[in-house]
Structure 1
Amino acid sequence: MVLNAQEQLLKIETLGTDELASYGNTVLTRTEKLVSKLVKPTETTDSVNISMNSLDVQVFAVGPKASLKEILQLSLNNAQMDIDLIQISMNNNGSAAVAFMSFTNMPSMLQPSVFKTATNTLKTMVSNVVSATLPKTTNIQLTTPVNFTLKHTAEISPNSVLSCVYWNKTEWVVDGCSLLQTNSSHSLCSCVHLSTFALIMQTNPPKGDDRDPLLDLLNTLAVAVGLVFLSLALLTFALCRQHLRVNAAPLINLCISLFLAHLLFLLTQTFLQYIRTNQLLCAVLAGVLHFLFLSAFVWMFIEAVLLFLSVKNLKKIRSKQKEMLAWKYLLVIGYVIPLTVVGVSAGLVPDGYGSQQCWIKTDKNFVWSFLGPVSFILTFNLILFIIIILTLRTTLAGRNTEHSKIKEIKTLVFKTLIQIVILGCPWILGFFVNGSKVLEILFLFLNSQQGTFIFLVHCVFNHEVRLQYRKCLTTLCPPFKPPTTTDDQNRRKGAPRLQPL
């Protein structure tokens, strides 16, 4: 019951740093006291394991007749400890016990920001908080250092510094602890004493920050402008539904997916410093962004297929529109497939979301859960677009210009060329940026303005939509007609006009 109540205490996040540290100390002290009651006298060995949502405990005791000959290894969900318990028992009349605990939610109390360093760095806890004690043991002096293997709970930045730290009442310190080795998923720490330990990552901003503030501002402005035109396009589609082609569902859903994805991306990057302090929220936002962008790409794929079918049947496009896929089936394809990809990805790699930018983590090749489908769709769309251009050129070349309107042909060609942006083909530039400012700006502009190009092609250059807008404006603001006077009425009836005096 006490441990269940402790889980609720661990969720406290609205207090100040000092109050949280005080609660954390109380939780640690009470937990260690309760765990010590699990130690039972034994002649050989005895162990007790407890697993809860936010706390894992393993207690191991040895007696005078224990047959252990090697270093004892205790393992919990995300941590492992190696301790020479036999040597400790020899200093305690042949008996000793060790308790190993792993706290999942303790970082909300024992915050990494209280780790004091010589330089001002961004500090992130990248492991569970673990605690080790020697309950009911008189001589707790360690004969050999204790090693802890801690699993990373966040992505390790290439420009970061990792520190093995222990909790000293009000702050994290490194005295007596050192980092032996690390890889992409685990770190090995060695300490000469037992206490409460964690792994903290310090991110040092590079001397010459590779992020251009002007580029960040351009990114924000470009995405904001794209959101405005996406809103205008959706508003136009809502007001002029009867004047759109039959299969407008892919285009409308593409606008919805792009709008939600760009809006969530803009909000996430704006409040990134606050969001990434909550790893769960950061991971959830990354998963939602993964779904929204994948959904947008699927709708681009569907739009490319429908555009190909329309151009292929250019001469009889009006009679062929009804042969397109039903919009209900398109909805299933456009949303169920991305949701399935995200669900399978999250199931196979549960900790794959929540990088420093609240996006997909790059380790374990998990990023290919996004790049794989996107690469396939972009390649297919580019091939379809080339076929569309060749088909359009052949079709228009064979038409009788005497019966064709040159202006309509030019408009059709222009709208088709703009489709390369609407179909997402400029996203291919993302594979070739590699630090090039010119390509990065071009990539940013073209892909943030998909909504702008959609609005131009399907609203501004759509003759039926323009006529509908004129009717709406005429209804709201009718043209001014001067009031009819009695003199004008008499003149219309043929009556003699009165002369002024």
Structure 2
Amino acid sequence: MQVGPNTSLTGSLQLKTVDIVLEIDLLSIAQHNNGSASVILINSNYMHSVFNNSHFRPENAKPTYMGAKVVLVILTQVMVKRLSKPINLTFQHFNVSDPADEPACVYWSEGAWVTNGCSASESNSTHTVCSCSHLSTFALIMQTNPNTESDPVVEALSAFFVLVGLVFLTLAVLTFALCRRNSRVSNMARLNLSVCLLLAHALFLFTQTALRLIQPHRVLCKLLAGVLHFLFLCCFVWMSTEAVLLFLSVRKLRQIKAKDRTGPHWRYKLLIGYGIPLVIVSVSAMAMPDGHGSEKCWLVTEKGFNWSFLGPVCLILTGNIVLFIIIFLTIHITLRAAHSEASKVKTTRLLLIKIMAQCVILGCPWIFLMASEKSRVLELLFVFLTSQQGTAIFLIHCLLNNEVRKQYATWWKKYGLSSKPPGTSDSVTLTTIQHCSNSQMGHTSLDTAQMTEAKPDKGD
């Protein structure tokens, strides 16, 4: 379209194609350009598939899709740099859109779609009018609004299950902390695993309960997602550390005397248990700054960022499976060779079964996370199984442990319903220490057979 000095046209002019209508005040532009001006409108049937919605990063991190064709508006032989009146572009949608979808009028700038200077003035299910204060290459991107309404009964049940898991996790942490073995044997891996699970589940419950209040604050949402990412990775690293310590202990079963302690010093364990997750989360955040902070304040799935968590988890689970096979074969060979005490080998085998069960309970529920966004049932199953991880740890390592049950009975007699005559407190305390020292729950090292021979290590 072109106008000259002697044109009789008045008002804003319209330039139409099959899918696009451009409304522009070309006469006002011509007045500032020696009385003449011309505009070109170009739309393409294929540009939207190349310059698609993947180049658009909305602040609210909502899912998006291309709503209409990409269009290019050009003023030819015009020296005007700024428009005195915004242009209006009416886009016809590819398909009838959901009334809840939000249109985003964008233009191409430095390799990405941005919204500066453009806004949607009108919109319905078939058309959207975009008003822009400059000329460029324009597009219409629709932001979907997933159904965030949930069943209050389901939410209440989810919160209840998480609370139950937190109660049992707290009991497990107290058991591992108060009923620790002597200084020669470490219970660190399982204690730190339980602490990380407790913090992660408590933060998860807080985040999901206050999600509507947290979502508007993008920085807070990203921070919470990063902390959850770190804590859950810590759980898997500590679980793997426990399996490695068991493997190192099993290697000594065939030795007649093994006075040296098993595994690295506790400082190195802490460095491994918390350092590796911190490195993974930091590198992931630097590689993709917008990766943390989805609609549920978790990891976004764009460009496979969720694999910054699922990848290490799969690697750890695969490594644990290999270790369990090696440990099982070592125990079998040791029993046949009879190079170690039968009771010691049986204790190791029982601990292997417990740690394998713990690995399955902690690892398998995350399989449902991959498909939970597409299925409400899988999402609820994932929440239920993960919330009961603490319950499972308490059952496996506390209630199913005979010595720990005896210790609970001792505490119950001391602080519960039973009354003790004066002068028996020292006896009860001595019994408590003996029960804790003989407990099987902390077998990250298998030096029980040499308790009278080994020297205490004050470092652990």
TM-score by length of 2: 0.58
Q: Deviations over 1:199-255 (max 9, x none)?
A: 98451539xx8x776665543333222211110011112211235872311111111
Task: Output the amino acid matched with 1:161.
Answer: D
DSSP-derived class of the 2:103 partner? strand
> Which of 296, 303, 308 is the aligned partner of 2:242?
303
Is the Cα contact below 8 Å between 1:421 and 1:450 reproduced in 2? no
Change (3 A) 1:239 1:374: same
2:160 aligned partner: 221
Match of 2:121 among 138, 151, 175: 175
The equivalent residue for 1:277 is 216
Once the 2 structures are TM-superposed, how far is the Cα of residue 452 of structure 1 from its aligned partner? 2.1
Give runs of aligned pairs for residues 10-409 of structure 1, distance below 5 A.
89-92=29-32, 140-142=84-86, 144-145=87-88, 161-164=101-104, 174-175=120-121, 190-191=130-131, 201=143, 203=145, 205=147, 216-242=155-181, 246-314=185-253, 319=258, 322-396=261-335
Task: Give the distance between the partners of 2:198 and 2:310, measured in 1 at CA.
Answer: 21
Cα–Cα, structure 1 residues 272 and 317, in superposed 2: closer, same or farther, change >3 Å?
A: farther
Q: 1:322 Cα shift?
A: 1.0
Relative to structure 1, the CA distance from residue 326 to residue 422 in structure 2 (aligned partners, 3 Å threshold; closer, same or farther) is farther
Matched, 1:453 2:392: yes
Q: Given that residues 92 and 138 in structure 1 are in contact (C-alpha distance below 8 angstroms), is that contact kept between their aligned partners in structure 2?
A: no
Change (3 A) 1:237 1:316: farther
Counterpart CA distance in 2 for 1:453 and 1:318 is 35
CA contact (8 A) 1:125 1:201 kept: no
Q: Which amino acid aligns with 2:121?
A: D
Find the aligned partners of 2:328 and 2:307 in 1 and give their Cα distance: 31
Letter in 2 for 1:306: L
Tell me the distance in 1 between the aligned counterparts of 2:166 and 2:303: 34
Flag structure 2 segments of 5+ consecutive residues without an equivalent.
Answer: 1-22, 36-58, 64-80, 91-97, 107-117, 135-139, 423-460
Partner of 2:73: none
**Cα distance in 1, alignment partners of residues 385 and 173 from structure 2:** 19
- Is the CA contact 1:222–1:449 (under 8 Å) kept in the aligned structure 2? yes
Distance 1:320 1:471 in 2: 31
Distance 1:307 1:92, change over 3 A: same
Counterpart Cα distance in 1 of 2:32 and 2:378: 69
Q: 1:409-456: per-residue Cα shift (whole Å, max 9, x none)?
A: 995575355333366355445457796788766655443332223223
Shift of 1:481: 8.0
1:284 CA displacement: 1.1
CA displacement, residues 354-412 of structure 1 (integer Å, 9 cap, x when unaligned):
11111111112222211221121121122222333444445456659997599969955
Amino acid at match of 2:296: Q
Is the Cα–Cα contact under 8 Å of residues 258 and 292 in structure 1 kept in the other structure?
yes
Contact 1:286 1:354 in 2 (8 A): yes
Distance of 2:299 and 2:387 partners within structure 1: 20
Give SS of 1:351's match: coil
Task: Give the secondary-structure state (helix, strand or coil) at the position aligned to 2:296.
Answer: coil
Looking at structure 2, the residues matched to 367 and 245 of structure 1 have their Cα atoms a distance apart, in angstroms, of 40
- DSSP-derived class of the 1:191 partner: strand
Q: Show the counterpart of 1:419.
A: 358
CA RMSD in angstroms, aligned pairs only: 5.0
SS in 1 for 2:323: helix
AA of the residue aligned to 2:387:
S
Which digits, 9 at most, give the CA deviation of each residue in 1:281-317, with x for residues without a partner?
Answer: 1111111111111111111111111122234434669
For 1:262 and 1:159, the matched residues in 2 are separated by 36
What SS does the aligned partner of 1:163 have? strand
In 1, Cα distance between the equivalents of 2:333 and 2:385?
Answer: 28
Distance 2:421 2:310 in 1: 64
Aligned counterparts of 2:341 and 2:266: Cα–Cα separation in 1:
38
| Residues 125 and 410 of structure 1, relative CA distance in 2, 3 Å threshold | closer
Q: What one-letter code is carried by the residue in structure 1 that aligns with 2:393?
A: I
CA distance in 2, matches of 1:476, 1:229: 20
What SS is found at the alignment partner of 1:175? strand
Amino acid at match of 1:267: F
Q: 1:311 to 1:403 in 2, by over 3 A?
A: closer
Q: Could you report, residue by residue, the CA deviation over 1:439-478 in whole angstroms, capped at 9, with x for unpaired residues?
A: 7666554433322232233333444444444444444469
Q: Contact 1:162 / 1:202 at 8 angstroms: preserved in 2?
A: yes
Structure 1 residues 174 and 406, CA, compared in 2 at 3 Å: closer, same or farther?
A: closer
Contact 2:172/2:390 (8 A) holds in 1? yes
Q: Which amino acid aligns with 1:175?
A: S
Contact 1:286 1:353 in 2 (8 A): yes
Deviations 1:139-174 (A, max 9, x none): 9345x5479xxxxxxxxxx996232489xxxxx994
Contact 2:299 2:306 in 1 (8 A): yes
Percent sequence identity is 44
CA distance 1:239–1:276, change in 2 (3 Å): same
Amino acid of the residue matched to residue 377 of structure 1?
A: I
Tell me the residue number matched to 2:41.
none
Could you tell me whether the CA contact under 8 Å between 1:179 and 1:189 is conserved in 2? no
* Structure 1 CA distance for aligned equivalents of residues 394 and 256 of structure 2: 22
Aligned-partner residue type, residue 223 of structure 1: V
